[in-house]
Structure 1
Amino acid sequence: MYQRFRSFFLLAGLFLLSACTSAGITVANAPVPFFEGTIERDIVFDEESKQTLDIYIPDRATEERLPVVIFFYGGRWTNGEKGDFAFVGTTLAEQGFVVVIPDYRKYPDVRFPAFVEDGANAVGWVHKNIGDYRGKSETLFLSGHSSGAHIASLLIVDERYLEDGTISAIKGFAGLAGPYSFTPEAEDVKIIFGPPSQYPQMQATTFVDGSEPPILLLYGRDDEIVAPYNLERLRRKIEEKGGQVQAKYYSDVGHIEIIGAMSWIWRYKAPVVDDLALFFRENSDN
């Protein structure tokens, strides 16, 4: 009886994730209240814009400081909020990391590069303050999905956004299905990033020089939202410049499923959690 009930609940969750975003997020976040750790919510990292972040701290010996993962969620630069991705915070924290999920301003309230500047402010705050939350301030990783991966990639490659001391603390970047090298086609996205003369400033490939920390690029082969050339162009540019990059493709995984694979519902779809955790651990002592 239990197995049949569990199977029914799992299938229902899969349907909700694919058919209804808000309901799917609710299902994905169902285990969050049972997280064995501490969640510090709504910490202001930018007094001027009043943007906030959440911190997920796993239960460990109080004297132990852990590597820090700063995760930027996706939403087409127009929607989403940090609480929707609590499942990402708890999942990575359970792997032994302090996880930070910031909010950032979005269109139509702002246009590029305001949301990237918000990301920079969040990373700067984490670098200065994460020691108060048992994180290693000199072992930071950036990560993100979709437009969040785009924001994080610009923070990694474009030195104008972060201070030198913060840049040196970043040990790697892991991007999930990020649009790193696209040219806007939708009318609202043209407004977000325009005029066209500014497009190179929002493409990560413009700024790669090979000095970036190690980079992991993850992509689902069934992605119909972000084209694969985004990953390939960035990968080739990093390789041409002598940088460190890994690229992994997952079969039968789409744009939503790759982030869904970090939830309890779709974990079986792809080893996203394992691949991220391994990448962060391998580079924690670099």
Structure 2
Amino acid sequence: MRTSSHTEQTMQKYKKWTASLAVTGVALWSLQTVAANASPGLVLLNTVSPKGEISVTKDLSYGTDPEQNLDIYYPKALAKAIHSNQSPKADYPLVVFVHGGSWESGNKDQYAFVGHSLAKAGYVTAVINYRKAPEFIYPAFVSDTAQAIAWSYHNADKFYADANKVAVIGHSAGAFNAVAAVSNADFLQPYGLQPSDIKAVVGIAGPYSYDFRKFSSRTVFPKEASPEQVMPDGLIKAGSSGQQPEYLLMTAENDKVVHLTNTTKMAQALTKAGATVITEEVKKANHATSIAAMSTSLTWVNTVRPQLLNYLQQKLQ
């Protein structure tokens, strides 16, 4: 991560952007400015995202804590078949999405637009909640992510999805969670999974390798911890199969929050561990729009959605 005061200010703006529920009645033409400035835009994105094309089952518990729940989004064709009392095959690919918010803010409802977007593209999609700081610090949010992934995997057939075609996607802090939870077998093992059970992992603008002690995010990690003890690039551990899933690590061309070195170091560490890793840059994207443009109403902002869908098509279909 960058060490300038400007970065700290940008991070604070991003936290407010992910936490806000105050935006209503903003015209569509303002979306580019909203996203580019990391302003409160999540509610707006969900307001303008097309409705009626998918169905959703909300608030399914994967654990006992109130924050340990998720929503499942179904593609239109699958939803129609279910509502018509047909018996669809359990062969849909499954995606688990983990939102960002500096491990302190955000929730699954604010990222409904991602669930809509992926379901519209043909993926059964779980958008998860997880416990957050300050009440819960590392490794709680990574353990929750692993538990949610495992729950989704083990229950895939109930949602007409194929457990052999599972991808995990995360943005920002959620990318940290996703990559950390899958690349280190110690997180999945308690829930009956190992890294190779997952087909692919996509991290978008993830802070995988930085000295958190120099940033406000230090409060979400144990006080006496060092980067070597918590950053996923130093904790890669394959399961009994000795294999990792494939990884796509995406960066935003104009990211002023998470520095490129995070992806560079994570890719190097995964490659050294024997994993197949692809890195891609999203042109014209900043930290906020690298996820905002997943909305089907914002595909003109940058190419993150087609880049991501192209990768999933190759790995899950």
Q: TM-score, normalised by structure 2?
A: 0.81
CA contact (8 A) 2:67 2:131 kept: no
Q: Deviations over 1:40-82 (max 9, x none)?
A: 0111111245521001011225413211110000000000010
Q: Are residues 1:15 and 2:47 paired?
A: no
Which one of the candidate residues 179, 182, 186 is aligned to 2:207?
Answer: 179
The alignment partner of 1:269 has SS state of: coil
The alignment partner of 2:118 has SS state of: helix
For residues 169 and 45 of structure 1, the distance between their equivalents in structure 2, rounded to whole angstroms, comes to 18
* 1:70 alignment partner in structure 2: 96
The alignment partner of 2:288 has SS state of: helix
Change (3 A) 1:242 1:125: closer
For residues 165 and 240 of structure 1, the distance between their equivalents in structure 2, rounded to whole angstroms, comes to 22
Change (3 A) 1:110 1:144: same
Paired residues for 1:128-147 under 5 Å = 128-147=154-173
Q: Where do 5+ consecutive residues of structure 2 fail to align?
A: 1-25, 82-87
* 1:114 alignment partner in structure 2: 140
For residues 20 and 165 of structure 1, the distance between their equivalents in structure 2, rounded to whole angstroms, comes to 36
The alignment partner of 2:62 has SS state of: strand
Q: Are residues 1:271 and 2:303 paired?
A: yes
More moved, 87-96 vs 239-248: 239-248
Change (3 A) 1:108 1:115: same
Identity %: 27
Q: Are residues 1:245 and 2:284 paired?
A: no
Tell me the CA shift for residue 18 of structure 1.
4.2
* 1:60 alignment partner in structure 2: 77
Paired residues for 1:90-129 under 5 Å = 90-129=116-155
* 2:198 alignment partner in structure 1: 170
Q: Deviations over 1:152-177 (max 9, x none)?
A: 01012111011354534310100100
Q: Are residues 1:38 and 2:64 paired?
A: no
Q: Deviations over 1:111-170 (max 9, x none)?
A: 100111111111121112121111112221111100000000101211101135453431
Q: Which one-letter code corresponds to 2:273 in the other structure?
A: K
CA contact (8 A) 2:114 2:294 kept: yes
CA contact (8 A) 1:35 1:90 kept: no
For residues 303 and 49 of structure 2, the distance between their equivalents in structure 1, rounded to whole angstroms, comes to 20
Greater RCO structure (CA 8 Å; 6+ sep): 2
Q: Where do 5+ consecutive residues of structure 1 fail to align?
A: 1-7
Q: Which one-letter code corresponds to 1:218 in the other structure?
A: M
CA contact (8 A) 1:57 1:134 kept: no
Change (3 A) 1:29 1:49: closer
For residues 187 and 101 of structure 1, the distance between their equivalents in structure 2, rounded to whole angstroms, comes to 28
For residues 192 and 50 of structure 1, the distance between their equivalents in structure 2, rounded to whole angstroms, comes to 17
Q: Are residues 1:205 and 2:233 paired?
A: yes
More moved, 228-237 vs 192-201: 192-201
The alignment partner of 2:254 has SS state of: coil
Q: Which one-letter code corresponds to 1:263 in the other structure?
A: S
Q: Deviations over 1:178-213 (max 9, x none)?
A: 001111145642232133444323211113368321
Change (3 A) 1:133 1:153: same
For residues 273 and 172 of structure 1, the distance between their equivalents in structure 2, rounded to whole angstroms, comes to 16
* 2:267 alignment partner in structure 1: 235
Q: Which one-letter code corresponds to 2:69 in the other structure?
A: T
Q: Which one-letter code corresponds to 1:122 in the other structure?
A: A
CA contact (8 A) 2:294 2:305 kept: yes
Tell me the CA shift for residue 240 of structure 1.
3.1
Q: TM-score, normalised by structure 1?
A: 0.89
For residues 39 and 167 of structure 2, the distance between their equivalents in structure 1, rounded to whole angstroms, comes to 27
* 1:254 alignment partner in structure 2: 286
The alignment partner of 2:131 has SS state of: coil
* 2:68 alignment partner in structure 1: 51
Aligned residues: CA RMSD: 2.2
Q: Which one-letter code corresponds to 1:96 in the other structure?
A: G
Tell me the CA shift for residue 26 of structure 1.
2.1
